[in-house]
Amino acid sequence: KSFFHFQSKVFKNNITKVMSTQAMKHKIEEENEVQTGNDENKTPNNGEQEPSAKKAKLENEGTKQINTAESSVVENIEAESKVGMKMLINKYRFQGIIKQRFSDFMVREIDLDGNKTFLTDTNHVDDQKPATESNKGEPKEMKDTTCPIDDVTLVKRIDDFAKNESEETLDDRITFLNNDKENRKACHMYFKTKYQNLETDVINKENDTREFVIYYKKSKKGDPRARKNRNTEGQFCHFVLHKQNKDTMDTINLLSKKLRITSKLFSYAGTKDRRATTIQRVAVKQCRSKRLKELNKILINIVLGNFQYKSEPLKLGDLSGNEFTLIIRDVTNATENQIMDACRSLQENGFVNYFGLQRFGTGGAGTHEIGRALLKDDFEKACNLILAEPSENDNDRSKERNALKIYSNNKDPQKAFQALRNRNGIEGKLLSCLKNSPKDFLGALGRLPRNTRLLYLHSYQSFIWNNAVSYRLEKFGFKPVVGDLVLTSETDEEGHKKARLLTEDDIASNTFTIEDIVLPMPGYDVIYPNNSCYDYMKSLMEKDGLDITNMRRAQKDNSLSGAYRTFLVKPKNMTWELMRYDDFTISLIENDVDKMKKSEEEEKTKTKNENECKKESGEEIGENMKAKSSGDSETIKIGSGVDFAVGADDGNKIIISDDENEAKNSTETKITEIESSVNSVNSEPDKSGKSESAMETDSKTEADINDKDSKTLGVSDGKYLALKLIFQLPSSCYATTALRELLTSDSSFKAQQQLNANFNKKKM
């Protein structure tokens, strides 16, 4: 509390002390040349500006105010300020690169009970499926019965149809000509016996031909043969999705395509970063775990596992937060003590809880602009923004640049659709509708998943919230004021906490701090602050042609109820360590797939070594076993020429461990042996064609591979310095927003791209 009261006082004293963009750039250039050992930031001596000039600079030039006890600095970080991210707390900062490799950024979902999500097993669990689960299309065992149809392709199509694995819907049917009466009779008997959910029939066609028909059995009340009700216990298959450098929605669309089912059958608790390694839970309706497991053989950088059947799907928000494991590479412009001070400051003081840049898109039209168009019922503009030609910084949509360029220039959805490389994405869903109905923009938007449409709307809310928080902190500082909002213990019908206004008595009692203050995202079911912050939010939306008091729309999904969000957040369970490395292509984080593969390699190595030992003379084996039983450590020489220590740990690395030591070394969950097919699922290859894990294996000794408790994958005397961070944040909080409190450069793709370019020049 005292820290934030002090910060508020300093904020008011220094709010007019700013540094011009040009002067700040000069300062950064000097810092790049000379690494200072001073722990304190120096206040630039460039004079003071009038408050009006300072406000104009903040609003018009894309700058942000940094308030510390020693200085008040304005930096030109245009990308962040465009979406309202203008305030900082931390005074200790340094330069570094985030997400230089997608393996440098790992996100692990935490469920509502506080359990972290791990991928530990890829075996299917269909043998454990509940008895009440509908095993549709499962063939019965048939003695001495062969299929009367010789066409193998047709038989496979019927089998997939019976299991609901074909593209046909429940109303479809399979037909084929069959003029052989005896064969038709055999077909009737065969399919009715083998598939309990199918019916057969014959239709008389022209020229005295017969058409054999296969269709789904219709449910009839009281008919025990009727197709079982799908709304039974265990109809949702929950699994862990481990993905690398993949967007959540793109991954869901890919899975639905491979399974030939609609993406609407999938549910998840939240979307995760694209350029990262992410581990999250997903549920799919009426799909067997065995089918999901088989996808591991063909998917790249995606692994599915830890299957289980449940009676309910997942819903957005069914998580308490995420754990982040991050690597900041090429750390410069600070001493190691300053870096440690910066981490401690982030841990103790937290960060301004902005929605991060990824909330608003990586380039081109911002997702908040699309949300604004939806709220204004301007559906044509919303479609045009989604289908706009991507900018140079839009790395996510660059693959569809040609198709989007065609649409942006000619508004020809037919040609644009034909030029698409991926027709299952958002652009493909829009263009597939517009090519048939060029003016049905509302219908085209209806083709998008509901979660995608909500993302656009929530992005606009986030844009307003970010700007309002910056205004509130700039206007009133880091302390509660009359008219602010705090959450109460009361909840509404949906279980969300209600808010109330702070009174003069509340302020006088010092009951609340800035950590308790919340600000609403615009909606019809929230209350607003009773101070100038509300006036600012209202005027901001009026400029966009929207009324903050009217957030209901004719389209129910476009109506926004609003929500409350805290100003500041402190990372939980935060740890950090400095690491050194030489090769930036080698991963410094071990993910779940790496651990599973390592466990498999260890098991294979252990088995191989045991077999090798058995081939030794009985006398040598007897001596070794005697040494082991006496507790002495001894070295066994095996065929490969590698020394393996066996027995008690006398300070040497134990390579082959007994069951007790294996249990001791196992991490949070026992890792089940992964199928060999998963070995092909890897991360980025380097220029030599080797994958990350392959390069790691080449560079490690057997001791490294078996050292499960190793925390550092770098080298002690490496040329470059990296910072490894592990911390947990509540749901909807952004790790990149926390990192901006540590780094001198912004978190935009363009800024990080420039840092990467500078690093490549330095390597040369």
Q: pLDDT band for position 48 (50/70/90)?
A: very low
Query: Is-catalytic flag, 273?
Result: yes
Q: Is the pLDDT of residue 704 over 80?
A: no
* Mean predicted confidence (pLDDT) in 405-412: 90
Q: What is the mean pLDDT of residues 607-636?
A: 57
Q: Is the pLDDT of residue 699 over 60?
A: no
Spatial separation of the C-alpha atoms in residues 267 and 313, rounded to whole Å: 6
Does pLDDT of 8 surpass 90?
no
Task: Kindly give the pairing relationship between strand 95-98 and strand 266-268.
Answer: unpaired
Residue 145, pLDDT score: 63
- Report which DSSP code applies to 565: E
- pLDDT confidence of 393, banded at 50, 70, 90? low
Would you give the DSSP letter of residue 743? B
Please state the pTM of the whole predicted model: 0.64
Chain centroid to Cα 10, Å, comes to: 38
Q: What is the CA radius of gyration of the chain?
A: 31
Residue 123: which pLDDT band, with cuts at 50, 70 and 90? very high
Cα–Cα–Cα angle for 487, 488, 490, rounded to 5 degrees = 130
pLDDT tens digits, one per residue of 536-568: 999 999 999 999 999 999 888 899 999 999 999
Q: Looking at residue 638, what is its pLDDT?
A: 28
pLDDT of 670 higher than 50 = no
- Residue 394 has a pLDDT of 59
* CA–CA dist 586, 177 (Å, integer): 60
Q: How far is CA 276 from CA 108, 129, 273, 426, 756, in A?
A: 11, 33, 6, 21, 17
Q: State the pLDDT confidence band at 624, using cuts at 50, 70 and 90.
A: low
Q: What does the pLDDT look like over 453-490, one tens digit per residue?
A: 998 999 999 999 999 999 999 999 999 999 999 999 98
Confidence of residue 713 (pLDDT cuts 50, 70, 90): low
How far from 467 is each of 12, 176, 558, 741, CA to CA, in Å? 19, 64, 22, 18
Tell me how many degrees the CA angle 405-409-411 measures, rounded to the nearest 5. 100
Res 149 pLDDT > 50: yes
Residue 206, CB-side half-sphere exposure with 13 Å CA sphere: 0
Q: Is 50 exceeded by the pLDDT of residue 184?
A: yes
Categorize the per-residue pLDDT at 753 as very low, low, confident or very high, splitting at 50, 70 and 90.
Answer: confident
Rounded Cα–Cα distance for residues 178 and 184 (Å): 7
Choose the weakest-confidence range: 1-15, 485-499, 556-570.
Answer: 1-15
- Comparison of pLDDT for 761 and 426, the residue scoring more: 426
Q: Where are the beta strands (DSSP E) in 286-342?
A: 302-310, 321-332
Query: Does residue 643 surpass a pLDDT of 80?
Result: no
| Residues 346/90, Cβ–Cβ less than 8 Å | yes
Report DSSP letters for 41-73, one per residue: PPPP------HHHHHHHHHHTTEEEEE-SS-EE
Structure tokens at 176: 């084929």
- Which listed residue (273, 318, 396, 746) is catalytic? 273
Reduced to 3 states, what is the DSSP secondary structure of residue 490? strand
Tokens 């075996």 belong to residue: 123
* Confidence grade of residue 700 (pLDDT, cut at 50, 70, 90): very low
- Return phi, psi of residue 700, to 5°: -105, 150
Q: Indicate if the pLDDT at residue 523 is higher than 50.
A: yes
Summarised one tens digit per residue, pLDDT across range 742-751 is: 998 776 766 7
Cα–Cα distance for residue pair 122/98, rounded to 1 Å: 31
Tokens 């590479």: give the residue: 329
Q: DSSP character for 686?
A: -
Is the pLDDT at 418 greater than 70? The verdict is yes
Distance between CA atoms of 271 and 254, rounded to whole angstroms? Answer: 15
**Does residue 64 carry a pLDDT above 50?**
no
- 38 confidence band (pLDDT: 50, 70, 90): very low
- The CA distance from 433 to 607, in Å, is 57
pLDDT at 615 over 90: no
Residue scoring higher pLDDT (750 or 729): 729
Closest CA to 564 of 507, 496, 468, 503: 496
- Give the single-character DSSP code of 675: P
Q: Alpha carbon 666 to chain centroid distance?
A: 26
**Residue 363 has what pLDDT?**
59
Burial class (CB in 10 A: 0-12, 13-18, 19+), 96: buried
Reported as type and span, the H/E element at residue 98 is: strand 95-98
Q: What's the 3-state SS for 178-216?
A: CCCHHHHHHHHHHHHHHCCCEEEEEEECHHHCEEEEEEE
User: What does the pLDDT look like over 568-603, one tens digit per residue?
Assistant: 999 999 999 999 999 888 899 999 999 999 888 888
